[in-house]
C-alpha cells in the first residue's frame, strides 16, 4: 500500500514538473521582473528561449516607454546606442509567424511581440513589449469593440475594468507570456522621463535575461 501511495505521489510530481511553463527573469537597472512563457504560443516561446540562451537581450534597452500603456525592448541596435539616437528598427533578419490566440488578451502584465505593418501580423524576431495599461469603463470598451470589430467576453471586460490593459491591441499582436512578479518595476520604467520619441532620458538596460532552471527532485 505504501509503495502504491509513493508511486502515485511520484507520478503526480513528475506530471506537475512536466506541465510547468518556461520561467524567465529579466534583470534591469531598475529591478527584476519574473515572467512565464505560454506553451500555446510555441514559436514565440522557442524563439525567445533561443535568443535568451544566446545572451541576445543582455545589455539591450527598454527604448520605448509610454505611461499607462507599455514598455518595449529587444532592439539589438540599442546595446551601444548614443544618447538620443532613434531606436526601434533593429531586428534579427526574420519574423515569427503570428500565434494570435483569443485566450490570451492584452491585460495588464502580458508579454507580447512587437511587429511592423505586415499583413500577416507576423512578429519581430526579437522586439517585445510588456503591457502596463490602464483601466477602462464599459463605454470605452464599447467604443473599442465598435472600432476593432472584436467582441470582448464578460470575463475580459471585467479584467479590463478592474485590472486594466490595452484592449485595442487584441487580435493584432501575439501575446505569449505574463509577468508573474515585478510589475512595480515595469510601472517604474513606463513612467520614466522620456523624449519626443518615447525613449527614456536615462538608459534603462536589461542587464541580463535568463531562463529559470526547473528544480530537480531527488529520490532515495
99 is a domain residue: yes
pLDDT tens, N- to C-terminus, the chain (220 residues): 444 444 444 444 444 444 458 999 999 999 999 999 999 999 999 999 999 999 999 999 999 999 999 999 999 999 999 999 999 999 999 999 999 999 999 999 999 999 999 999 999 999 999 999 999 999 999 999 999 999 999 999 999 999 999 999 999 999 999 999 999 999 999 999 999 999 999 999 999 999 998 755 454 4
Contact 71, 127 (CB under 8 A): no
Contact 27, 208 (CB under 8 A): yes
Q: CA-CA distance, 3 to 11, in Å (whole number)? A: 12
14 is a domain residue: no
Contact 33, 185 (CB under 8 A): yes
- Domain, as residue range, for 54: 20-211
32 is a domain residue: yes
Contact 37, 212 (CB under 8 A): no
- Catalogue the E-assigned strands of 125-183: 128-131, 175-181
Q: Which of helix, strand or coil describes residue 205?
A: strand
Domain count across the chain: 1
Q: What is the CATH number of the domain that holds 95?
A: 2.40.100.10
Q: pLDDT for 140-164, tens place per residue? A: 999 999 999 999 999 999 999 999 9
7 is a domain residue: no
Q: CA-CA distance, 33 to 62, in Å (whole number)? A: 13
106 is a domain residue: yes
Residue 145 half-sphere exposure, CB side, CA atoms within 13 Å?
14
38 is a domain residue: yes
39 is a domain residue: yes
13 is a domain residue: no
Q: pLDDT for 67-92, tens place per residue? A: 999 999 999 999 999 999 999 999 99
Amino acid at each position: 500500500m505504501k509503495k502504491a501511495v509513493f508511486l502515485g505521489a511520484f507520478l503526480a510530481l513528475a506530471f506537475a514538473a512536466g506541465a510547468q511553463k518556461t520561467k524567465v527573469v529579466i534583470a534591469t537597472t531598475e529591478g527584476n521582473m519574473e515572467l512565464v512563457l505560454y506553451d500555446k504560443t510555441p514559436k514565440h516561446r522557442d524563439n525567445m528561449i533561443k535568443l535568451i540562451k544566446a545572451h541576445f537581450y543582455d545589455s539591450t534597452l527598454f527604448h520605448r516607454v509610454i505611461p499607462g500603456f507599455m514598455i518595449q525592448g529587444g532592439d539589438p541596435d540599442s546595446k551601444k546606442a548614443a544618447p538620443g539616437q532613434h531606436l526601434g528598427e533593429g531586428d534579427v533578419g526574420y519574423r515569427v509567424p503570428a500565434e494570435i490566440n483569443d485566450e490570451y488578451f492584452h491585460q495588464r502584465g502580458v508579454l507580447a511581440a512587437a511587429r511592423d505593418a505586415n499583413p500577416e501580423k507576423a512578429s519581430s524576431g526579437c522586439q517585445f513589449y510588456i503591457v502596463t495599461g490602464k483601466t477602462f469603463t464599459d463605454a470605452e470598451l464599447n467604443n473599442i469593440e465598435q472600432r476593432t470589430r472584436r467582441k470582448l467576453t464578460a470575463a475580459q471586460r471585467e479584467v479590463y475594468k478592474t485590472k486594466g490593459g490595452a484592449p485595442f491591441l487584441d487580435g493584432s499582436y501575439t501575446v505569449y507570456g505574463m509577468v508573474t512578479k515585478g510589475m512595480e518595476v515595469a510601472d517604474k520604467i513606463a513612467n520614466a522621463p522620456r523624449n519626443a520619441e518615447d525613449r527614456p532620458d536615462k538608459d534603462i538596460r536589461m542587464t541580463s535575461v535568463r531562463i529559470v532552471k526547473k528544480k530537480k527532485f531527488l529520490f532515495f
